[in-house]
Structure 1
């Protein structure tokens, strides 16, 4: 590709920075604060951007400022260009975890946090003490927008959608187990289909609707279940199960973990449920970033490990058929 130096020299690259702040904040005042400019300077930048692209870019609406179709089409190319410039200027040819000072924002469900964070934080304190993590609750509907707007560096969870500029890496495949207190429900493993549909259930769902994969599976065989509680917090369900005559169906690893911690029973679900793929998702602009890559590789390695306290218990459970 030939560079048109004469025309490109007339372009102020700071306008791309202003553009990204404006379309992210949808507010001249907030965009100015984000970049560190005065409001009048940001207004002037918006005027220059409108002239440069021949489009209003941001227009006022009932809910505040909104981007035009032209601005929407410019967002990803502008961010990709800024990311490449930032990478070039930073000259990050290597990442030394022992000396790096950096904060990563990760979106993940609390069930993953319980299993992954103790190991990851222990490793960071030992090998990368300057690396800090900011965790956010994952939202499968909003995660792509969070990645595109640089609010999240990495997402971990169940992801079905994505664009060409979103990168994905499988961490593990998960099956399901039922978890319950045998003394309260009067059932010992393995739980029967009759007991499964008879007993009240705790459903964990990030979309907070009283319907999940279990309901889809039961519907295929003409059955339904009684859902006593729906919660977006996976780690709350085992504590409810511990003290109430209800059962929950959870990803196998977290179910086994809480079964040991809370002295609960686990059992295969008596209905055919599909395995789920737990993946990492990130924006392509960070694909070659050495620090980001180091974090992804570290998480991938730790995801293959079982919590040390569970090794003996899991070996016994595996010998007994799960």
Structure 2
């Protein structure tokens, strides 16, 4: 591969560090404070970065800087380069949970957030009291893109196809239960398939669809249920089922935990529905990050306890 030595000479690692911090924090004042620089030094570095990459890189908005498309493309490459440089110079930076004030960023749906989230917060409060945890709703491709842009550290959920640049660990295998309100006029002590097909269903779909894994399972048997509505969150489904004659098929662990809170019955599905894996996903390039390794180990401990 031919190397453009002139451009390499123009490359200053301090510039890349400032670029990485600007992508993460989107404010020159914050970056200046974090790096111990003046705001004018950060602004001068940004001017040099724009010249180096022949792109504006950031546009100014009232709430801070917005990265351009080119900046978002560069961000994961620059971050990986910084990590490799750290390893070359002196190995990965140590992580001491007792004193670290790191902010961890996690993507999950509300099933994962309510199952793992409270236990993870408890561990952080005990073992890493100065750290902070930011959780956001992101699934599928949206989670992958946020990881690539280093807007997230980890994503936990159900992923069907995982690109090569990511590492994954299966944390749990999850099965399904049916929830319905007490005194549902159509349900007896047990739930048979004929009744299941004849009642109205509520589906949880992150993409706003009216069919899911249950419908695929039924279709393979030449059967169909009536899905009257879909919602994007599991706990929204619990509340809707509690106030109607709809039933919902939801993760079994979630049903066990929240059905009593919403005054709901929990019934086994009258058909075999494949269980699904709950996986932890992160960029392979972050494997050498000791802080992230620590967080992953705590998530695994929680999953083992839930398992």
Contact in 2 for aligned 1:203/1:249 (Cα 8 Å)? yes
Contact in 2 for aligned 1:198/1:226 (Cα 8 Å)? yes
Contact in 1 for aligned 2:75/2:150 (Cα 8 Å)? no
Contact in 2 for aligned 1:18/1:45 (Cα 8 Å)? no
Tell me: CA distance 1:103–1:77, structure 2 relative to 1, closer, same or farther (3 Å). closer
Partner of residue 220, structure 1? 220
The answer to whether structure 1 residue 145 and structure 2 residue 149 are counterparts is no
The answer to whether structure 1 residue 232 and structure 2 residue 232 are counterparts is yes
Contact in 2 for aligned 1:181/1:241 (Cα 8 Å)? yes
Q: For 1:90 and 1:237, how far apart are their aligned partners in 2?
A: 51
SS at the partner of 1:112? helix
Tell me: CA distance 1:210–1:33, structure 2 relative to 1, closer, same or farther (3 Å). farther
Q: What are the residue-to-residue correspondences of 1:149-160 with 2, within 5 Å?
A: 149-160=149-160
Deviates more, 1:167-176 or 1:11-20: 11-20
Give the Å deviation of 1:232. 0.8
Q: What are the residue-to-residue correspondences of 1:29-48 with 2, within 5 Å?
A: 42-48=46-52
Contact in 2 for aligned 1:100/1:130 (Cα 8 Å)? yes
Partner of residue 292, structure 1? 292
Partner of residue 193, structure 2? 193
Q: For 1:34 and 1:219, how far apart are their aligned partners in 2?
A: 54
Q: Which residues of structure 1 form unaligned runs of 5+?
A: 51-55, 59-63, 308-322
Partner of residue 304, structure 1? 304
Give the Å deviation of 1:85. 2.8
Contact in 2 for aligned 1:175/1:252 (Cα 8 Å)? yes
* TM-score, normalised relative to structure 1: 0.76
Q: Which residues of structure 2 form unaligned runs of 5+?
A: 33-38, 58-66
Between the two proteins, the alignment pairs up a number of residues equal to: 288
Partner of residue 269, structure 2? 269
Contact in 1 for aligned 2:182/2:263 (Cα 8 Å)? no
SS at the partner of 1:142? helix
Partner of residue 108, structure 1? 108
Tell me: CA distance 1:13–1:99, structure 2 relative to 1, closer, same or farther (3 Å). closer
SS at the partner of 1:253? helix
Give the Å deviation of 1:214. 1.2
1:205-245 per-residue CA deviation (whole Å, 9 max, x = no partner) reads: 11122221111112222222222221111112122222211
1:259-284 per-residue CA deviation (whole Å, 9 max, x = no partner) reads: 23334222222233221110111112
Contact in 2 for aligned 1:32/1:42 (Cα 8 Å)? no
Partner of residue 316, structure 1? none
Deviates more, 1:256-265 or 1:240-249: 256-265
Contact in 2 for aligned 1:105/1:151 (Cα 8 Å)? yes
1:171-192 per-residue CA deviation (whole Å, 9 max, x = no partner) reads: 0111111111240233134311
Contact in 2 for aligned 1:189/1:266 (Cα 8 Å)? no
SS at the partner of 1:183? coil
Contact in 2 for aligned 1:105/1:133 (Cα 8 Å)? yes
Partner of residue 96, structure 1? 96
Deviates more, 1:34-43 or 1:195-204: 34-43
Tell me: CA distance 1:197–1:260, structure 2 relative to 1, closer, same or farther (3 Å). same
* TM-score, normalised relative to structure 2: 0.80
Contact in 2 for aligned 1:179/1:241 (Cα 8 Å)? yes
Give the Å deviation of 1:129. 0.8
Contact in 1 for aligned 2:170/2:277 (Cα 8 Å)? yes
The answer to whether structure 1 residue 177 and structure 2 residue 181 are counterparts is no
Give the Å deviation of 1:91. 5.8
Tell me: CA distance 1:89–1:185, structure 2 relative to 1, closer, same or farther (3 Å). farther
RMSD after superposition: 3.4
Deviates more, 1:6-15 or 1:253-262: 6-15
Give the Å deviation of 1:100. 1.8
